[in-house]
Structure 1
Amino acid sequence: MPLSFNGGMAFSGLPHNLLGPQMHPRGMGCWNGTMRSPWQNKDQACNVLNLSPSLSNGELIVHGSPRPVRNMLNKGIPLSNGLARPRAHSNVGAFSNEDGFIIQGDGLNYVMINKGLDCSRGLNKAKDIGASKHREGRLQLDNWSQFAPACGNSKNAAKLCTSFSLPPKYNSLAEARGYIYLIAKDQHGCRFLQRLFDEGTREDVEMIFKEIIDHVVELMMNPFGNYLMQKLLEVCNEQQRMQILLMATEEPGQLVRISLNTHGTRVVQKLIETLKTRQQISLVVSALEPGFLSLIKDLNGNHVVQRCLQCLSCEDNKFIFIAAAKYCVDIATHQHGCCVLQRCISHSTGEYRDNLVEEISSNGLLLAQDAYGNYVVQFILELKIPSATSTLISQFEGNYVHLSSQKFSSHVVEKCLMVLNDESRSKLIHELLSTAHFERLLQDPHANYVVQTALRVSEGSLHNSLVEAIESHKAISRNSPYSKRILSQKLLKK
C-alpha cells in the first residue's frame, strides 16, 4: 500500500531506476518508525502505514520540494478554489483501498470515500490487503463518485469521514462551486452551466471561467464540455477570450490537434467567429499555419479552414491561399481538400487568386482524370477566366477521345462542351468525329454521355455532321445498351 504524506506523493508500479537519487525512498526521514518528508516536522509525520509494507509491494515513495509536489498534484489532480478536481493518471497510486482513497498534499488532505462506507474502518483494513487486492481496489480518478476535501488540522479532521456525491440537479451556482470543471463534463451539468450564461450575471460567468480556464483544452475536446466552451466564447469579454486563446495555443501544434478533434473543431470554429483584435487573429493564424495541410485534408479540420475563409480578411487568409497554391495537386486530389480548394478560389482576390488558378490550371490534364481533381477543373472552367481556360484547353486538345472514355475526365469534357466558346467547342466535336473508331464512343459507358451532350449543345452544320456520324453506325450500335441512349435522343433529327 503506497504511503502519502504532506509534501509527498506515493507512486506504484514504477521501477526504481526510473527515479533519480533525490526521489529514492532512502531520501526520506523516519520519526519513531513513521515516514516524514524532509519538509515535515515531527508532528507532521504520517503514521497511517509504516514503510515496510510499502517497499515490500515494490512501491516507491516519491518526495520533492513543496513546489514540485504542488506541480505534481496539479497534473494529476488540478486544484481550483482549494478543492480537488480528479483526472485519470494510470501511473499514480495513492493511499487507497476498496473503501477509500487519500491523497495528502502541501497543507491539504483529499479523501475519496465510497458511498456508505466508514472511513476509519477502511483505514484499518488497509494493512491486510495484499498486492493483488490493492491493484483490484485502486480507484481510477475518472470514476470517483464520492469526494471530500479537508485541511490537515484537527478543526477539520471530522470532514475526513464525511462522504457525499454531486447532486444530480443544481439549483444555483453556489451549489456547484468548486465542482464546475467536473460538472462541465456531464451532460446535464453542462446544460445547467450554459443556462447560467444566458440567465446569470457577469459574476457568474467570471466564477465559471475561473474554475475551468486551466482545463479549456480538455473541455474543448470533451463530448459535453465543448458545448460549454462554445457558449463561453459567445459571452466572455475580450480579456477572457485572450486567456482561452493563450491556453489553446500554449503548446506548438495544440490548436491544430484540437481542430482535428470531432468535438474540438466546433470550438475552434466558434473561436474564429468571435475573434475581435489583431492580436487574437495573429495568434490563431500563427498556430494554424504549420498544420494547414493536415487541416485541409481532414474530415474535421477542413471546416476550421473554411471558417477562416468566411470570417477573416483576405490578407489574414493569405497563409491559406499561398499554401493552397503550393500544394494544389495534393489538395485537389483529396476527398475533403478538393471542396476546400474551391472555397479558397472563391474567397481569394487579386494576386492570391491569380496564382491559385494558374497553379491548378497548369496541372489540368492530371487533375481532370482524378476522382476528386476533376471537380476542381470543372470549377475553374465555370469561372470562364480566359487565361485559365486557354491553359486547360491547350492540355486537353488531342486528348479529348481518351478523356471522354474515362469515368472522371468524361465529366470534364462535358463541361468543356457546355462552357467553351463556339470555336473551341467546334474543335472538340471535330476531334471526336475524326477518330477512326467513332462507334466505340457510342458504345462506351462514359463516352456516350459526352456524345449526348455534344448533340444538345451543337448547332447548324456541326450538329448535322454529328447526327450523320451517329446514324452511319446505327446498325452496329443498335444492340449496345449505351448506344440506345443516344439513338433514342430526339436530337438526332436534323
Structure 2
Amino acid sequence: MANADPFSMSTLLTSLQHLPFTSATEPMIPAVPPPSRGIPVVIPQPRYHGSQPLNNSFPVGFLAPQYLESRLQSLFNLMTSTIEEVNIAPFKEMISRLSRRELQEMAYLLTSDPDYFLAIARNKNGSHRLQKLIGKSDDADNLFFLAIFRRFLHVMTDKYASYVAVRGMQVFDDEKKELMYEHILPHALRLACDKHGHIALNEVITDLDHPFYREQLLDIVALNALLLSYDAYGNYVVQHVLTLYDLRCTYNIAVSLLGYCVELSFDKCGSYIVEKLLETEESMVLVVEELLECEGGRLMRLARKEIGSFVVIKALRVMQEMNRVDLFRGLVQKLMPFRHLLRRPCGNTSIAAIIESVC
C-alpha cells in the first residue's frame, strides 16, 4: 500500500495541532529589521525536538543543526536585503530557475520557525519576495499556509506581513482558502479596528468570491456597523463594504445605523458613510426620514457645517432625482426658515439655492 502523502492537507492539519501556537495576546518577539551592509543580523533561532526542527513533515536530513544556522542567516539576508546590498539577480528570475525540490526546500527553511517566518514577512522586501514564492508549488504552499495560519493575527495586523496572507488567499487552493476564511470570521471585528488589519480585511472582502463566506463576512460588518462607524479604522471597512453595492448588506447597515445617521453626519468619516447610504434606494429613504425627524434647529446646524452640508445637499438631490416629492418637500419645508443662513456655497451649489429653486 502506498505511503500517505506527507504534504496532504489532512496530514498537515493533524500535525498543526502539535505545533507551538502563540496567542495574539502574548508578547511578540520584535520584528527583525533589514540587515545593514556588512553587519551580521541576529535572527530568531529555530526550536528543536531532539535533532529536528518542529516542522517534521519534510525530510530534514539536509538540515543538520551544525549547518542550519548559517543557511537560515544566508536565506534571511537574501529575502530581506535590497538589490544594492547583495549582488543577486532579480528575485523573480532567480526563483524561476529553482526545481520543485529546491523550491520546497526553500519554503521549508522559511517556515522552519514561526518567529523566523514572521520576521521576514514583516520586512518590506521579505514580504514582497514571500508573495512571489506563494503560488509556485502546492507542496510549498502547504508550508506557507501553515506558517501564516499559526501566527494568523500577527500576520494580518502587520503592515507588510498582511500582504503575504492576502496573496495566499488569492492563490491557495479552495480548501486552504476556506480554512483561512473560517479563521477570519471570529476575528473580523478585531481586524476591522486595527491600523493595518482593516486594510487587509478590505482586500479580503474585495477578492472573496465564495458566496457563503462573503455573505457571512458582510453580515458581520453590517450587524456591527454602529461600532465600526465610530472606530478610527473600522469606519473605512463600512465605507468599503458600501462601495460594493450589495443591496442586502447596504440595507442592513442602514438598519444598524438607524437613529445615528444625523450624529454621524457631523463627523468627517461618518458623513462619508451616510453619503454612501444615500446612493442606494434601499437605504436612502431611511436616512432622509431620520433627517426629517430631527429638530429643525439641529438640521440647520448640520446644514451649516461644512461636512454636514454635503449630506444635506445629497439628500435633497437624490430625493428630487428619485421623484420622492413627499420627502424632498419635507426637507425643503424644514430648512426654509433658515435659508438666509444657508447661502454659503458647498462646492458649486448652496442649500439655499436648491430651496429657492422650488419656491
TM-score of the pair, normalised by structure 1:
0.52
Q: Which has the higher contact order (CA 8 A, sep 6+)?
A: 2
Distance 2:100 2:355 in 1: 65
C-alpha distance after superposition, 1:98-127 (max 9, x if no partner): xxxxxxxxxxxxxxxxxxxxxxxxxxxxxx
Give the distance between the partners of 2:229 and 2:174, measured in 1 at CA.
Answer: 28
Work out which of the two has the higher radius of gyration on C-alpha atoms and give 1 or 2: 1
Compared CA separation, residues 411 and 402, structure 1 to 2 (3 A): same
- What corresponds to 2:60 in structure 1? none
- The answer for unaligned runs of 5 or more in structure 1 is 1-85, 91-210
Q: Is the 8 A contact 2:156 2:197 kept in 1?
A: yes
- What's the CA shift for 1:287? 0.8
Pair 1:292-2:152 in alignment: yes
Q: Is the aligned partner of 1:354 residue 2:215?
A: yes
Per-residue deviation, 1:235: 1.5
User: Is 2:291 aligned against 1:429?
Assistant: no
TM-score, length-normalised on structure 2?
0.70
Change (3 A) 1:404 1:87: closer
Q: Give the residue type in structure 1 aligned to 2:273.
A: V
Q: Distance in 2 between matches of 1:403 and 1:430?
A: 15
Indicate whether 1:336 and 2:196 are aligned: yes
TM-superposed CA distance for 1:247, in Å, is 1.2
CA shift for structure 1 position 213 = 8.3
Q: Is the 8 A contact 1:325 1:360 kept in 2?
A: no
- What amino acid does structure 2 have at the position aligned with 1:323? H
Does 1:313 pair with 2:183?
no
Other-structure match for 2:237? 376
What is the match of residue 468 of structure 1? 333
- Aligned counterparts of 1:241 and 1:251: Cα–Cα separation in 2: 17
- 1:253 paired with 2:118, answer no
| 1:450 equivalenced with 2:311 (yes/no) | yes
Larger CA deviation: 460-469 vs 441-450 = 460-469
2:126 to 264, 282, 290: 264
Matched residues in 2 for 1:397 and 1:290: separation? Answer: 39
1:487 to 341, 345, 351: 351
Q: Would you say the 8 A contact 2:339–2:351 is kept in 1?
A: yes
Q: Deviations over 1:116-163 (max 9, x none)?
A: xxxxxxxxxxxxxxxxxxxxxxxxxxxxxxxxxxxxxxxxxxxxxxxx
Quote the offset at 1:426 in angstroms: 2.4
Give unmatched runs, 5+ long, in structure 2: 1-37, 43-69
Aligned mates of 2:74, 2:317 — CA distance in 1 = 62
1:443–1:482 Cα contact (<8 Å) kept: no
RMSD: 2.9
Instruction: Write the letter of the residue equivalent to 2:79.
Output: M
Asked whether the equivalents of residues 367 and 374 of structure 1 are also in contact (C-alpha less than 8 Å), the reply is: yes
Asked if the contact 1:296/1:336 (under 8 Å) is kept, the reply is yes
| Paired position in structure 2 for 1:119 | none
Change (3 A) 1:336 1:290: same
Partner of 2:114, secondary structure, is coil
Which SS does the other structure have where 1:223 is aligned?
coil
Deviation at 1:489, TM superposition (A): 4.9
Conserved? CA contact 2:162–2:200, under 8 Å: yes
213-222 vs 373-382, greater mean Cα deviation? 213-222
Q: 1:414 aligns with which of 267, 270, 275?
A: 275
Displacement, 1:406? 1.8
Percentage identity across paired residues of the two chains: 25
Counterparts of 1:315 and 1:308, CA distance in 2: 12
The residue type equivalent to 1:364 in the other structure is A
Q: CA deviation at 1:327?
A: 1.8
- Measured in 1, the distance between the counterparts of 2:351 and 2:39 equals 71
Q: 1:366 to 1:237 in 2, by over 3 A?
A: same
Q: How many residues align?
A: 284
The amino acid of 1:391's aligned partner reads N
